Amino acid sequence: MITEPIKDNKELQAFLNFYADKKPNLRNHCLIVFGLNTALRISDILNIKWNMIYDFENKKFIKRLTISEHKTGKINIIPINDNLSIALQKFFSKQNPQYNDYIFTKSTDHTRPLSRTQAYRIIKTSADKCNITGNISCHSLRKTFGFFAWKQAVSYTHLRAHETDSYLVCRLLLEKKKKKNTPHSPCDI
């Protein structure tokens, strides 16, 4: 099955707020907000440390996250928008983290990052409890970001300027065509 984005605004809001309102958990809420607002792969999100987004010396959040993507090795600079900044600030104040701590840690061991399996469970639980149909997984956060950016007419080359293959970006933004052996342009909608 192909992972799907969450396309409905009401479903997205319910999904986004599940761990904020219905089953409060700042870590889980922040994880979902992080994924939906950065379009990073879950493997990259789970390896981010507080010192990458928080200036401990000046006691303030950094406006842009600079990250070397694990899969591609490319350096990516991602702006931290207001929604993500608010979620991070709330989580930071509760955690009182140290310089080298991971942002998303296991509840039983705060020195180790959350596993991909646990991140999947967090995302899947929110989707299930919000009655969101379709194949929702960790990659859905990335695809949802792309879908809503595309809907708002953000150019895919502007959206992910570090990508060199437009087909790869379009594949992220759009659902795969079900037609077999039918050639189409990268952004055939």
pLDDT value of position 54: 97
pLDDT value of position 181: 36
> What are the C-alpha distances in Å from 23 to residues 6, 40, 77?
20, 25, 32
Q: Which two tokens stand for residue 23?
A: 């089953």
pLDDT value of position 140: 94
pLDDT value of position 188: 27
pLDDT value of position 186: 32
pLDDT value of position 126: 97
CA 96, CA 147: separation in Å to the nearest integer?
A: 34
Residues near 7 by beta carbon (within 8 Å), at least 6 away in sequence: 144, 147
pLDDT value of position 167: 45
DSSP 106: -
Q: Which two tokens stand for residue 171?
A: 């594949």
Radius of gyration of the chain (CA): 17
Q: Are 136 and 4 in contact (CB under 8 A)?
A: yes
pLDDT value of position 184: 32
pLDDT value of position 156: 58
Nearest to 158 by CA among 47, 48, 39: 39
Amino acid identity for residue 36 in this structure = L
Q: Which two tokens stand for residue 9?
A: 């605004």
Task: Give the residue ranges of the chain where pLDDT is below 50.
Answer: 162-168, 175-189
Cα angle 63, 38, 25; round to 5: 95
pLDDT value of position 157: 61
